[in-house]
Structure 1
Amino acid sequence: MNVPGDARSLTGDLDAAYASCRRIAAEHGRTYYLATTLLSPERRRAVHALYAFARMVDDIVDHADNPARVLDPRDGAQHSRIAGRRAPARLTETSPAQHLDLVEKQLRLALEHGDLDTTDPRRHQIITAAADTITRYDIAHTHLWTFLDAMRMDVPGTATHRTRYATMSELREYMRGSAAAIGLQLLPVLGTVVSVTEAEPAAAALGEAFQLTNFLRDVAEDLDRDRVYLPADELTAFGVDEAHLRACHHRGHTDAPLRRALAHLIAVNRDIYRQAVPGIALLAPRVRPAITTAAILYAEILDRIEAADYQVFTTRATVPRRRRILVAAKGFTTPGGHR
């Protein structure tokens, strides 16, 4: 990065950038953040940087009604207050699609020329840390562009915009960029005992498993944003269509047909976890406890949905803090688990 100052100030700026990313991960990705405590400090902050970058992009997409807003790492928990903030005046006229284009341009500049064209200090820190991680671990740039392309699918006005998915195949094509690409970005950071290419299918599958869990947990939130990430044909098989979904949302009650549909999709989700989890053995031994912890805790969200009788419109399924700590603690006692 071309940042004014001597080598000491450059290091300080980079440390501050990574610290901002750590705060974002701690506020918004509690399960992932807890799992990263099992990684070495260098790997840990690299994962925080990639998470913060993805979160920043997701934040732009999820608040298209206020496209100039950029996530504030200093106040991530105060969601309603963040929504009222705006980025510097020169960005306030941009559409969500233009905003994503600008993020991609800035990341490309940082990666290709060591320069970052932004006056927004929050964005500067996130992209600075992400670009340093991508360069340091030689992460293929195509994974970043694939991710950004998938995010554009969520933005009205883009050529690829869509808010409904007819089949699981269509949804998995979206998840190839929104989730699998994240798993592929992480592989060089985590390290493997086989070639990266050999480890990629399982890493991609684990990213998809996490994403589908999110979709099952966040049905109500997505409907409020006029999005349906549950495949239409899978729902139709149980007598559920979008009107049915919306009626259940309006009543705040999951009825029998939708309960059966969600049970089926949870089974599909668990099958993806079964395909992905054996791939953890392909990772470097020292990172396996962290990824195992993340996989266990995220999969348990499905258990919580079931325990709440699939009432996804009134209860947001979460794994209790005590349980998260217990699983993470077990990771510390596993050979290779360490801070």
Structure 2
Amino acid sequence: MEQFRLLTHAYTRPGAGPVTSDGWPGWSAFAECVGHFKVPLQLLDDMVDGQQRDLLPVQMNSFEELQHYCYQVAGVVGVASIYIWGFSGESKAQAMAIDRGLAFQLTNILRDLYEDLKQNRMYLPQREFDYFHVRPADVLDRRRSTQFKDFILWQVQRADEYYRRSAGLDQLISEDSRAALDAMTAIYQGILRKIERDPFRVLRGRVRLGALSKARIAWRALGMSRRSTAR
């Protein structure tokens, strides 16, 4: 991560001299992309800060702490993406991009709840575990209870709120990029709906969409892309 930070800094700041990473040409392409689309450099610094947290055991105590982490690892990705796609609405679009990123990350956290806890990564806040009278050990023991079901469904509702808050984002990005956002959103929302239908599913490991569901989403995105290109 520190190497990534140094390379990012060197490639994206004027006058920083050439930097290589074992001859991998991807760094040059990365720097060119950042410069061409004028991606704010602070986003990259924030992202690295968030990713570094995952290198150590994680325990969140409050939603404010979780929200900040989600911003660092997903919200900034949302904002960087719309700079590449093209957008209008300035601050409104950026706020929606952050919310969509948070919605995706909250979905990820539910999807990977069991696997993350096995690796000492507790992203859902301890205060919320306590409020619903659920323990992280209950997840590792795959213990089903009404309290656990309510806990997960409450998390689903919160993620849904972030999807609702960002519902107009697709109208603010360039038309030829909407298919990509639509496909990403459909995949993540599909995972969230699976969890909503069966909250105990997260106790069995990572929740995934089936191949048929993914194929339908890809087919719809392809159709959207073709219609956009034809205009």
Whole-angstrom distance in 1 between the partners of 2:183 and 2:214: 9
Task: Quote how far apart the aligned CAs of 1:331 are.
Answer: 2.6
**Structure 1 position 327 matched with structure 2 position 217:** yes
**Structure 1 position 117 matched with structure 2 position 20:** yes
Does the CA contact (< 8 Å) of 1:179 and 1:208 recur in 2?
yes
5+ residue gaps, structure 1, are 1-99, 157-161
Whole-angstrom distance in 1 between the partners of 2:104 and 2:46: 18
Letter in 2 for 1:290: A
Secondary structure at the counterpart of residue 336 of structure 1: helix
Q: How many residues align?
A: 226
Whole-angstrom distance in 2 between the partners of 1:167 and 1:146: 20
Q: 1:331 to 1:155 in 2, by over 3 A?
A: closer
Whole-angstrom distance in 1 between the partners of 2:159 and 2:177: 24
**Structure 1 position 261 matched with structure 2 position 162:** no
Letter in 2 for 1:226: N
The one-character-per-residue Cα deviations of 1:285-312 (angstroms, maximum 9, x if unpaired) are 1211221221121111011223444231
Letter in 1 for 2:71: R
Aligned with 1:194 (options 72, 89, 97): 89
Letter in 1 for 2:3: L
Q: How does 1:199-214 map to 2 (within 5 A)?
A: 199-214=93-108
**Structure 1 position 281 matched with structure 2 position 171:** yes
Look up the match of 1:173. Answer: 68
The one-character-per-residue Cα deviations of 1:25-47 (angstroms, maximum 9, x if unpaired) are xxxxxxxxxxxxxxxxxxxxxxx
Does the CA contact (< 8 Å) of 1:111 and 1:131 recur in 2?
yes
**Structure 1 position 104 matched with structure 2 position 5:** yes
Letter in 2 for 1:150: G
The one-character-per-residue Cα deviations of 1:22-80 (angstroms, maximum 9, x if unpaired) are xxxxxxxxxxxxxxxxxxxxxxxxxxxxxxxxxxxxxxxxxxxxxxxxxxxxxxxxxxx
Task: Quote how far apart the aligned CAs of 1:228 are.
Answer: 0.5
Whole-angstrom distance in 1 between the partners of 2:180 and 2:58: 33
Whole-angstrom distance in 1 between the partners of 2:229 and 2:131: 44
Q: 1:313 to 1:337 in 2, by over 3 A?
A: farther
Secondary structure at the counterpart of residue 277 of structure 1: coil
**Structure 1 position 246 matched with structure 2 position 137:** yes
Q: 1:337 to 1:236 in 2, by over 3 A?
A: farther
Q: 1:135 to 1:268 in 2, by over 3 A?
A: same
Look up the match of 1:42. Answer: none
Q: How does 1:1-339 map to 2 (within 5 A)?
A: 100-112=1-13, 113=16, 115-119=18-22, 121=23, 124-156=24-56, 163-195=58-90, 197-240=91-134, 244-250=135-141, 252-334=142-224, 335-336=227-228
Letter in 2 for 1:117: T
5+ residue gaps, structure 2, are none
Letter in 2 for 1:331: A
Secondary structure at the counterpart of residue 207 of structure 1: helix
Task: Quote how far apart the aligned CAs of 1:115 are.
Answer: 1.7
Whole-angstrom distance in 1 between the partners of 2:81 and 2:154: 30
Q: Scaled by the length of structure 1, what TM-score is found?
A: 0.62
Does the CA contact (< 8 Å) of 2:112 and 2:205 recur in 1?
no
Q: 1:249 to 1:337 in 2, by over 3 A?
A: farther
Paired-residue identity, %: 21
RMSD: 2.0
Letter in 2 for 1:200: Q
Task: Quote how far apart the aligned CAs of 1:313 are.
Answer: 2.3
Whole-angstrom distance in 2 between the partners of 1:193 and 1:317: 34
Does the CA contact (< 8 Å) of 1:308 and 1:315 recur in 2?
no
Task: Quote how far apart the aligned CAs of 1:225 are.
Answer: 1.4
Task: Quote how far apart the aligned CAs of 1:114 are.
Answer: 5.8
